[in-house]
Structure 1
């Protein structure tokens, strides 16, 4: 739920002109309505089943239909608002003239990819006419129509943005480059098909890397690599890719993603997170390194409500940084602690990464939530120990223990918010409800508490939250769709089997494989961010881990923690730059201070990897 700017290496640049914003208001309204429908249906189904023992069989079907339309409309909104994640590290060093050309080329590449999928998506919709849903008895095309509509609308919007932002020369040269590359690939297609799996390096590594460097959003980088590979290096019809994309967006487990995103928006708007910070500050603020403990503890607790690193950091930093500065904390050290604390807290339920991972890898969400809480405690202890060591010279002049009355008052204010993360964890981990059902109850609870105790939410603010949630949901689901398609292509080519054979032959057995996995996901966390990396690699790595006898939940904790560390590792990790932006500190100033904290996290990661019992395995 981050706004972002040019200081970030992997961002959505919200300042850019919005070519289609005038025509997006109806789309935003429909997407917001669909989000309300999804939440309402899930809540109704959960209440009916748990309190009245009356399952409503058609709710899952209507939710599924609404969800895919929400995903496609949200992706369209995200494209209009420039909120699709992309790598801008290379763009930032280019002169303005070259940067404008590369951005125009990137938009036209997105449009070309989407246009290549337009007819297969329409064909897929027509095929779905012959499939009827079991409960509603309606054609599957009502649901599948979201794909061609969203794909065509995004293609039109990408072209409109390219025309609005680029010069005529940039447009002509970009089209000429795209046409020339496609022409060469068409001419070389027979040779590429004959070459076999070596072409994967060209399409799924080189092409994807070039698109990433050019600022093409990550989701579309995966898509461009996959569609060109299928079209020019195989005899597999591109139509198959639409089915894989649909599969990537269709798991009912993923319904909890937009609901938890909405929950994070409510947390930000109502001040529930600040109430938790104030209580912890009154409790621990008087001891040496106390404000560091408060920052880490706040991230740990608040993460259990929002499920979002950006929301966590934006809630905690403004409330704590002024007092930390007064006590002599250097801004660069505060940023280092904020960034690594957010990485620590990302396994605390409800973690969107864990929900998506459970869906993609077929791992128990309840098991992931339970293990994630314990793993986060281990990482919290490592960071707290380092913070105490570094705070040995902290200025404590004038610092007084809060009075019992103040502690009691802040506890009364924070109590309704403090209850929520524990309700979420206990309900899912205890098997009382699914993550999706819990998310809907949590939203209703947070809305009620926020309106009654924390000042309420205006209608305009609530509508803006719905639109923001739809956009972020679309971003996440488009990444999932294209990454699943790309992973399928890699698997079908036999790379997964070759990789399994290679990994199985590593020295050290499961320990060697775990070490390679940590290194791999550290790098992927730097480059791709958590969600794309896990969706792309889970289908390849989990079967190997299972063959080596590694427990799914144990492996999940290791790879997610490794990715989170990579996410905060400069000079590429997006999380580090987000923390710098939120704390208003130059990345150049903070980059030297974060390494001890990253080493503390890495020590915790090694402990988690070496001791499966920490993950409950």
Structure 2
């Protein structure tokens, strides 16, 4: 909007139009800047509050032996507000995960229309959700929280407030699009709505077959058109409920809140912040420098360093996005300087993200333990060796595929250099040990342990590495909130979609079908691998596990499959799906972090995924790899 038509006949009119357009842009920019502060400042406060609350809970319980009984409740309430402010910040910054491979291939005209659709669809979904969210929050007023004794509305209103902020962001973004494209998109959405309204009786008569229409065809259409994944999940669920059931929409906000506010998920923003602190204080750089001094002179050595660094950092941050963000910026420039193709690099980075899914303290390990009752300590122990098996498979393939054409200036590091880099990296290398020890020794829960890592990183960064830039703290906290909000909003809408699938009986039917597969436990393991690769590509790993974990783990136990072994198999299968294009969100995260076009690795990643799949079959066939060290 506000663009000057090139055929304007009079210079005076042209100047006036340009002035109006410029004035409109300044007005929009001022509004967006003000809205940014309204969103970002509370988000930053919420991140800091979470760290303080959970760290205080650890200190009071472990050091003073006086547990703060209200800490978890307060942390959960603040966390829900953090998730919604973070989701709004991510929407404003354009950081909600979306697939743009098809959009990028369109003509400029159609690309502009699809970009408009990618803004308008979230706006429509949030507008449909807004009133039910307010009604749901209002209904919680008479329910008091057990520890703090405050009305439930204070907690549940976060979604409604977040919806208001996201609508404001969406409207301001829509105002930057051309009127013609807005008209096209409005007409297209109106046609889809009319078609769904008219087809509702037919869809109801299809029984559970209508799930394929809503959660395969409609969902895939939104994803391929570049609509952010979280809003595709939410819109598909709303359309399903409105067209085929009599379920009131007030149920949807409750399910989204339930998905986002689990105490286990508190680890997401805190581990993201820990990963960013490690990068800012140059601890990650120190660890990578030590590995590079050991292996950097070997052909393919930096590929080994990348894999080793991902395993090390995975034990620190717990979040795959944070892992890749800590490693790629340090290694990619040198790897490109050596003549490595960026498509191969981003493929190896994405595959290493899938490889590290079982390296503790993985968020998926924490989730699977919470929903299935499997010991998290056992999962942490069992997850190490499967990750090593997959890393070896990737290392063998990377040596064959990644060519280094410029090694003439690369020399083997002397023993003194290796020793010096080891001493420099030692405080950073201690973080994984600190985190695992704190969980195993009962000092802190898997959720709280990240705050110990944050405190340690800040102290060591200031006193030892002397790399703590105060100017970067605010942007880093905003980035933490935005990335966490984008992830948590996907989990919230995916949880809502999972609930809809559960109500339809589909998940129980799928579980029963898998239990009846021929081949006993081996047939069950094989169908589980295929199923979770598919689920991992269309869902985020945590929602898939929330949906199917409680159903499938009892079946695995009945068939004689050890629960830790089964956990490793399904987690690695989900990881492969999560990083597999065209739907895997992890692949696009790797491309964003590596600053590489998704098209560059779209074809090159498949050999790496094949190596992961082969290694997964080895892990599935040899249970000792997962359970040999459980004792």
**What TM-score do you get using the length of structure 1 for normalisation?**
0.88
C-alpha distance in structure 2 between counterparts of 1:168 and 1:415, whole Å: 58
State which drifts further: 509-518 or 561-570. Answer: 561-570
Measure how far apart 1:412 and its partner are.
1.7
- Contact 1:263–1:442 under 8 Å retained in 2: yes
C-alpha distance in structure 2 between counterparts of 1:325 and 1:333, whole Å: 10
Measure how far apart 1:322 and its partner are.
6.1
Identify if the C-alpha distance between structure 1 residues 312 and 18 changes in structure 2 by more than 3 Å, giving closer, same or farther: farther
Are positions 1:35 and 2:47 aligned together? yes
Are positions 1:454 and 2:465 aligned together? yes
Partner of residue 163, structure 2: 151
- Contact 2:382–2:564 under 8 Å retained in 1: yes
Measure how far apart 1:200 and its partner are.
1.9
Equivalent residue of 1:90, what SS? helix
Partner of residue 232, structure 1: 243
Partner of residue 74, structure 1: 86
Equivalent residues in 2 for 1:510-521, closer than 5 Å: 510-521=521-532
- Contact 1:361–1:538 under 8 Å retained in 2: yes
Deviations 1:390-429 (A, max 9, x none): 7999997676543332222212211110000121123224
Identify if the C-alpha distance between structure 1 residues 543 and 90 changes in structure 2 by more than 3 Å, giving closer, same or farther: farther
Are positions 1:101 and 2:97 aligned together? no
Equivalent residues in 2 for 1:244-393, closer than 5 Å: 244-287=255-298, 289-317=300-328, 319-320=330-331, 333-359=344-370, 361=372, 363-387=374-398
State which drifts further: 247-256 or 514-523. Answer: 514-523
- Contact 2:495–2:543 under 8 Å retained in 1: no
Identify if the C-alpha distance between structure 1 residues 482 and 392 changes in structure 2 by more than 3 Å, giving closer, same or farther: closer
State which drifts further: 84-93 or 394-403. Answer: 394-403
State which drifts further: 518-527 or 253-262. Answer: 518-527
Deviations 1:50-94 (A, max 9, x none): 111101111112111111111111111111111111121221111
Deviations 1:317-370 (A, max 9, x none): 454456656777666555544443333223222323433444455544333322
Partner of residue 9, structure 2: none
Unaligned runs of 5+ in 2: 1-27
Deviations 1:150-185 (A, max 9, x none): 1232223223322x2332232233323333433443
Are positions 1:198 and 2:198 aligned together? no
- Contact 1:288–1:391 under 8 Å retained in 2: no
Partner of residue 6, structure 2: none
Measure how far apart 1:42 and its partner are.
0.4
State which drifts further: 32-41 or 331-340. Answer: 331-340
Partner of residue 127, structure 1: 139
- Contact 2:62–2:443 under 8 Å retained in 1: no
Identify if the C-alpha distance between structure 1 residues 390 and 145 changes in structure 2 by more than 3 Å, giving closer, same or farther: closer
Are positions 1:243 and 2:254 aligned together? yes
Identify if the C-alpha distance between structure 1 residues 293 and 168 changes in structure 2 by more than 3 Å, giving closer, same or farther: closer
- Contact 1:18–1:161 under 8 Å retained in 2: no
- Contact 2:537–2:585 under 8 Å retained in 1: yes
State which drifts further: 125-134 or 275-284. Answer: 275-284
Partner of residue 176, structure 1: 187
Partner of residue 118, structure 1: 130
Partner of residue 412, structure 1: 423
Aligned length: 601
C-alpha distance in structure 2 between counterparts of 1:589 and 1:189, whole Å: 42
Among 208, 220, 238, which residue is 1:209 paired with?
Answer: 220
Among 32, 55, 60, which residue is 2:67 paired with?
Answer: 55
**What TM-score do you get using the length of structure 2 for normalisation?**
0.86
Deviations 1:176-226 (A, max 9, x none): 333343344344445544443232222222221121122221111111111
Are positions 1:426 and 2:433 aligned together? no
Equivalent residues in 2 for 1:434-453, closer than 5 Å: 434-453=445-464
Partner of residue 99, structure 2: 87
RMSD: 3.1
C-alpha distance in structure 2 between counterparts of 1:565 and 1:458, whole Å: 37
State which drifts further: 503-512 or 55-64. Answer: 503-512
C-alpha distance in structure 1 between counterparts of 2:317 and 2:30, whole Å: 29
Deviations 1:511-553 (A, max 9, x none): 2232223223334444555456555654665565455443443
Equivalent residue of 2:150, what SS? coil
Measure how far apart 1:293 and its partner are.
2.9
State which drifts further: 52-61 or 334-343. Answer: 334-343
Equivalent residue of 1:20, what SS? helix
C-alpha distance in structure 1 between counterparts of 2:168 and 2:333, whole Å: 47
Among 561, 577, 585, which residue is 1:566 paired with?
Answer: 577
C-alpha distance in structure 2 between counterparts of 1:168 and 1:550, whole Å: 59
Partner of residue 604, structure 1: 615
Equivalent residue of 1:506, what SS? coil
C-alpha distance in structure 2 between counterparts of 1:18 and 1:486, whole Å: 37
Identify if the C-alpha distance between structure 1 residues 238 and 360 changes in structure 2 by more than 3 Å, giving closer, same or farther: farther
Partner of residue 16, structure 2: none
Among 483, 487, 493, which residue is 1:482 paired with?
Answer: 493
Partner of residue 477, structure 2: 466
Unaligned runs of 5+ in 1: 1-15
C-alpha distance in structure 2 between counterparts of 1:178 and 1:598, whole Å: 37
C-alpha distance in structure 2 between counterparts of 1:361 and 1:577, whole Å: 30
Partner of residue 13, structure 1: none
